[in-house]
Amino acid sequence: MTVALAGRGVAMIGIILGLLAVGLDLVSGGSARYLNSGAVAVFAIALLSMSSYLPAEVGYDTAGTAAGVAVFGFYLSVPAIFAFSHLATLGAGAWLGLGTVLIPIGRSIVRRAEGVHAHEPATRSPDTATGSPATLTRDPLFALAIAGLILMAAGIWLPVASDAPDYWNASSSGHVLGILLLIAVLANAATLLLAPLLWRVRVSADMVLLVACGSFGLAGALWLETFDHLGTLGSGAWLEAVGGLLLIGGVVAGRLTAARGARLPALAATP
């Protein structure tokens, strides 16, 4: 019990760091802050508020963790763009935002302490949990998530903004942002496609959700940051944002559909 409480405390520290990051400077000596964008402030504060479900111990640990992971994915964007040659110029806001990684770490501590293991089926129905290709390919929500994944993969190689490089070359040195997006695409492909269809491995439904949430936050970061100037965005940024929305929409809707379907037999059996 003490270890589980410590895990919730770790998650709470991550939430506090994320909230502090909203109002602090992104660049040393500059005035740029996440708070300067209303869309970013609403996104971060709303999801971090939802993340408080985890330390509050109200029975929505997965939902709270998913919200926190989405914010962590978002906060990865700015350090990735500045990497590696300009990391020294980052301000407290950019660095503290990365502290939101403590939210999923805290949740992992809680689950281990409480003896909860992720054995839920990763996909949307009992048939897909066994890796049935026919069931998976007929699921429109699965197709929606895969369509989002394809858009995200394509967006990596397209311009971030007008007269700007693509995501692969958007970082100040190296290809950090492009590599992170590519890892996100591959991770989602592994949990959604490779594991159930090719490897016949059962992946936790929570793992599928958390990977999708982190990818959504990273993919939509630039769109949120330039919400007041969306006309300047290039095709890559639009594809990443739309792809991230389709991915998270398909995964979340599929999860809700599966939960509702699992309750129906129980309700039918109730006298």
The C-alpha atoms of residue 233 and residue 111 are separated, in whole angstroms, by 41
Is pLDDT above 50 for 148? yes
**pLDDT number for residue 254:** 87
pLDDT band at 126 (very low <50, low <70, confident <90, very high): very low
Find the mean pLDDT for residues 183-207.
85
Phi, then psi, of 118 in degrees rounded to 5:
-80, 85
**pLDDT number for residue 262:** 65
**pLDDT number for residue 200:** 72
**pLDDT number for residue 264:** 58
pLDDT band at 135 (very low <50, low <70, confident <90, very high): low
Alpha helices in the chain (DSSP H): 2-23, 38-51, 53-56, 61-75, 77-82, 92-97, 102-113, 126-129, 133-138, 140-155, 176-189, 205-219, 221-225, 235-269
**pLDDT number for residue 234:** 94
Is pLDDT above 70 for 130? no
Torsion sign, CA atoms 180, 185, 189, 192: positive
Q: Where are the domains of the chain?
A: 2-113, 126-269
Is pLDDT above 80 for 129? no
Find the mean pLDDT for residues 151-162.
95
- Which pLDDT tens digit goes with each residue over 66-116? 999 999 999 999 999 999 889 999 999 999 999 999 999 999 999 999 886
Find the mean pLDDT for residues 2-29.
95
DSSP annotation of 58 reads S
Q: Which of 137, 104, 105, 107 is nearest to 123 (CA)?
A: 137
The C-alpha atoms of residue 128 and residue 142 are separated, in whole angstroms, by 10
Higher pLDDT, 264 or 82: 82
pLDDT band at 136 (very low <50, low <70, confident <90, very high): low
Higher pLDDT, 126 or 4: 4
**pLDDT number for residue 124:** 38
Residue 27 forms beta bridges with which residues?
90
pLDDT band at 127 (very low <50, low <70, confident <90, very high): very low
Higher pLDDT, 187 or 204: 187
- What pTM, to 2 d.p., does this model score? 0.88
